[in-house]
Structure 1
Amino acid sequence: MTMFIKKEKVYEAAYSLIEDFMDAFNEKSTAKLKTEFGMTPAIYNEAREYLDDYFNTDQYLLKPPPKKGASPHLLEDNLLDIYGTDEETDCWRINCRLFSEQGEEEISANFDLFYDKEQFKLKYLYTAS
């Protein structure tokens, strides 16, 4: 059964899970990435290779977009786009602009966010520029 979930709740859950994902990615925790975010070691290696090429090094830390003050969307426009927040659904597509120690990057990570059994789950899809 689908239900309407408040937009703010979806954004907060997505942001928190993306933070957890990036922590696991930065820590190279392939077991956590697989069990919690559906990112197999092969997909992790592909994403890591893509990002190593993008940064021209393997020494970088991914960060989620910085939060701004009190906003219903938490972030500036186009940094965390969640599609379907105005619909009665239990699945949303997310496009999240990536940041590093240098600031905003020209790449984004894409996810699906699911709401099932009273909890949110995030599944990694791909990274692209």
Structure 2
Amino acid sequence: MTTSLRVLKSAGLLLGMQLVQHRPGIISTLILARLLLPEHFGVVALVVIALQFFELLMEIGNQHYIIQKTEVTEADLNTAWNMNIVIKSTMFIFILFLVPFLADFFETPELTAAVAAITLPLGATAPNHGA
């Protein structure tokens, strides 16, 4: 198999994975659009922005490191898993500390409770593609 064909297959696989991963987000957005009052959409948008920002900070790249290795040992996987737990736990504490300041900045007190209620389950169930 040529390198270009392998790259095309990999790109197709990644695109398919992204579509499958984002399907629940699209479905939940449609459900929220039906259930929420118009004044709540601003809070939802702020929660999504805050969570995506913190999710970006949680991405440490250990998946890419493991994928690039030609031989992956159990120690590599254990280290990546432990790093994930430590980083996500630290970010959860950081989020809980920072969200009240964000709520004050955006003058939206509901933001604190919403982000705190959503952050832990999302961080705990986020797929870990490499470790």
Q: When the two structures are superposed, what TM-score results if normalisation uses the length of structure 2?
A: 0.27
Name the structure where strand makes up a greater proportion of residues: 1
Name the structure where helix makes up a greater proportion of residues: 2
Q: When the two structures are superposed, what TM-score results if normalisation uses the length of structure 1?
A: 0.27
